[in-house]
Amino acid sequence: MKTWSCAVWMIAVLTGAIVACAQAGAQRDSISIDKFQSPEPPATLPVVSPAAQQVLRALQGHAAAYGLSDPHAQLKLVDEQTDTQGRKHLRFMQIQEGVPVWGGQLLVQMETDGSLEFTNNALVRLSKQISVHPRLTPPEAHAAAQRIIGEGWQADTAELFIYAVGDDVRLIYNIALTQGFYKEIYFIDAQTGVLVKRFAGIQSTR
């Protein structure tokens, strides 16, 4: 996977400025249970808040630098909080036709004067477009994972993601399999049922 150099520039956005650090690529270097918790937007969070609208407008003119074509369609607000200093902290999840991109997220801090700082850019540059319509159903993906891992393991819900490593872009089911206090994570290709990636040796808190 290519590592993109960090570029910082200032542009005028309404009454503020953006300090943007463009460094694309999902980080998958550590294996901890938190890495496998898919981001789920709170039910009460607005689809696009005024602060989020400002961020998306700011990105529109620089989408290519972030590996995006349409920030409004490819970024989904999943968290927005205001700290004691009045600054807003926003977290966006990268999506493609509504399907989350594994590892893709963008963190933005909005100062009280309206200026924006992109504090963490982990957006994934997708080298090609793929179908987001799986051939396998979730039960079929469960069955494929259980055939591989063997008996005695319980499969949790199967979640769809787009998973990209370099030019290899796939639609996968993220399936957690547990046996007692042990957990394994299987990425099952949602079109073919083959095992794409396996994370083993994870201790479950169940």
Number of separate domains in the chain: 2
Mean pLDDT of the chain: 80
Please check whether residues 118 and 142 belong to one and the same domain: no
**pLDDT digit string, tens, across residues 107-152:** 999 999 999 998 888 999 998 889 999 999 999 999 999 999 998 8
Alpha-carbon span 206 to 198, nearest angstrom:
20
Ordered alpha helix ranges (H), 103-182: 138-149
Structural domain includes residue 180: yes
- State the pLDDT at residue 138: 95
In a domain, 33, yes or no: no
Residue 164 has pLDDT above 50, yes or no: yes
Establish if 91 belongs to a structural domain: yes
Please give the model's pTM, rounded to 2 decimal places.
0.74
pLDDT tops 50 at residue 28 = no
The pLDDT, as a whole number, for residue 156 is 85
Looking at the domain assignment, is residue 3 inside a domain? no
C-alpha dihedral sign at 97, 99, 103, 104: positive
pLDDT surpassing 70 at residue 45: no
Q: Do 99 and 148 lie in a common domain?
A: no
Of all helices (H) and strands (E), which one includes residue 72? helix 71-74
pLDDT band at 203 (very low <50, low <70, confident <90, very high): low
Q: What is the CATH number of the domain that holds 159?
A: 3.10.450
CA distance 176 to 203: 12
How many helices (H) and strands (E) in the chain? 3, 10
- Rounded to 5 degrees, what angle do the CA atoms 51, 11, 92 make? 35
Q: What is the CA radius of gyration of the chain?
A: 19
Judge whether 97 and 132 are in contact, CB under 8 Å.
Answer: yes
CB-count burial class (<10 Å; 0-12, 13-18, 19+) for 90: buried
Are both 116 and 149 inside the same structural domain?
Answer: no
Q: Give the distance between the most distant pair of CA atoms in the chain.
A: 61
| Structural domain boundaries enclosing 93 | 8-26+41-122
Q: Report if residue 128 sits inside a domain.
A: no
